[in-house]
Amino acid sequence: HAADAHRTDLMTITRFVLNEQSKHPESRGDFTILLNHIVLGCKFVCSAVNKAGLAKLIGLAGETNVQGEEQKKLDVLSNEVFVKALVSSGRTCILVSEEDEEATFVDPSKRGRYCVVFDPLDGSSNIDCGVSIGTIFGIYMMKDNHEPTLDDVLQPGKQMLAAGYCMYGSSCTLVLSTGEGVNGFTLDPSLGEFILTHPGIKIPKKGKIYSVNEGNAKNWDGPTAKYVEKCKFPKDGSSSKSLRYIGSMVADVHRTLLYGGIFLYPADKKSPSGKLRVLYEVFPMSFLMEQAGGQAFTGKQRALDLVPTKIHERSPIFLGSFDDVEDIKALYAAEGKKE
Ligand code: P6P
């Protein structure tokens, strides 16, 4: 029966990526293999995060768990899992992780053509109170077949081949773009498979929510302060926006992608480059937003045009519904004219 078809015609993420790959006959399946290893990492972290409360995986490194083993902190453990999964894929040459000060150059015997930048467990300070956290990743192709150098990862976000995040919350949701739109997959724990649940995600053109840490208001610059003021006291008679701020980027961005609105982490006097990291927070989320019909702005330029000079560089970011980001771009442009 047609009604049953969707239940038996399981579109797993692996099948989905293989379908995508079939559109590129020249590809040798390397990307599919790489993605499968990222998915494996996400499944492991999902399982560890869900057990965290029980197995005392949370808290500081050095604590012992019920088995008396020394426990690694969840983000340290997640990082090790992703690094091992990515190296063992045999398809990577450089890895940049939020957890590692230096980039990892993969041994020539295991080297492939892809560079992966990732935050293995973003928002991990929220684990202990059960707030959703996530893995964020972006994938570059190395510039050309030479000895890999940092230049292969210090590329503007627009050069990314793919980006995505996996959110560990009430369900485990993986949102991915390979440059042809955005698709969401939900882990079916009974199958251990990510199933396509959100095909072709498009962000509403305008939203009713703004998402920012109001606690930093005293340090904001003019355009950000003016924009937030407009959200709260609109002059054009429209209704004010709601404030939703979870403080976990993956959760705030996921809500913005599905419901619309704008997420802001502005520069402020204390942190002139903002707080979020360019390579593995700003670029992947900006890539997804553009692919979903939204946009992402740094206060000075299109976020994906930024050329990073350091692997842990930060940038202010305003991302979300196209029209909402347009509004704050106008305020920064007006400020620029005054200078
Ligand atoms: P603040 C979490 O620590 C994080 O890196 C992001 O996930 C989140 O968006 C941001 O920092 C929250 O920062 O300064 O508002 O607590």
Reply yes or no on whether the pLDDT at 24 is more than 80.
no
How close is the Cα of 247 to the center of ligand 1, in Å? 5
- H helix intervals, 185-307: 222-232, 249-259, 283-291
pLDDT of residue 177: 97
Pocket test for ligand 1, best of 224, 270, 275 (most atoms within 8 A of CB): 275
Residue 283's closest CA among 143, 121, 162, 132?
Answer: 162
Q: Give the mean pLDDT of 158-180.
A: 96
Residue closest via CA to ligand 1's atom 13 equals 247
> Separation of 213 CA from ligand 1 center, angstroms?
9
Tokens read off for 29: 């399946």
Q: Are 206 and 39 in contact (CB under 8 A)?
A: no
pLDDT digits (tens, 9 = 90+) for 245-289: 999 999 999 999 999 999 999 998 888 999 999 999 999 999 999
One-letter amino acid at 316 equals P
Report the separation in Å between the CA atom of 180 and the middle of ligand 1, taken as the mean of its atom positions.
29
The rounded Å distance from CA 271 to ligand 1 centre is 13
- The residue nearest atom 14 of ligand 1, judged by CA position, is 213
Asked if residues 298 and 315 have their Cβ atoms less than 8 Å apart, the reply is: yes
Helix (H) or strand (E) holding 134: strand 133-141
Q: Which pTM was predicted?
A: 0.94
Instruction: Report the b/e string of 126-143 with b at 16+ CB within 10 A.
Output: bbeeeebbbbbbbbbbbe
For the CA atoms of 315, 86, 291, 170, the dihedral, rounded to the nearest 10 degrees, stands at -90
pLDDT: which is higher, 43 or 128: 43
Q: Of 268, 274, 42, 266, which is closest to residue 175 (Cα–Cα)? A: 42
Binding-site residues, ligand 1, Cβ < 6 A:
122-123, 125, 213, 247-249, 252, 275
Tokens of 268: 């402020």
How does pLDDT run across 115-156, given as a tens digit for each residue?
Answer: 999 999 999 888 778 899 999 999 999 998 789 999 999 999
User: Which ligand 1 atom minimizes the distance to the CA of 122?
Assistant: 7
Residue nearest to atom 12 of ligand 1 (CA): 247
| Atom 3 of ligand 1, nearest CA residue | 123
d(CA 136, CA 321): 20
pLDDT band for position 193 (50/70/90)?
very high
Q: What's the pLDDT tens digit per position in 198-211?
A: 999 999 999 999 99
CA dihedral 35, 40, 45, 48 (to 10 degrees): 170
Atom of ligand 1 nearest to the CA of 276: 5
Average pLDDT taken over every residue of the chain: 91
Count of Cβ atoms closer than 10 Å to residue 29 Cβ: 13
Tokens of 96: 């940049």
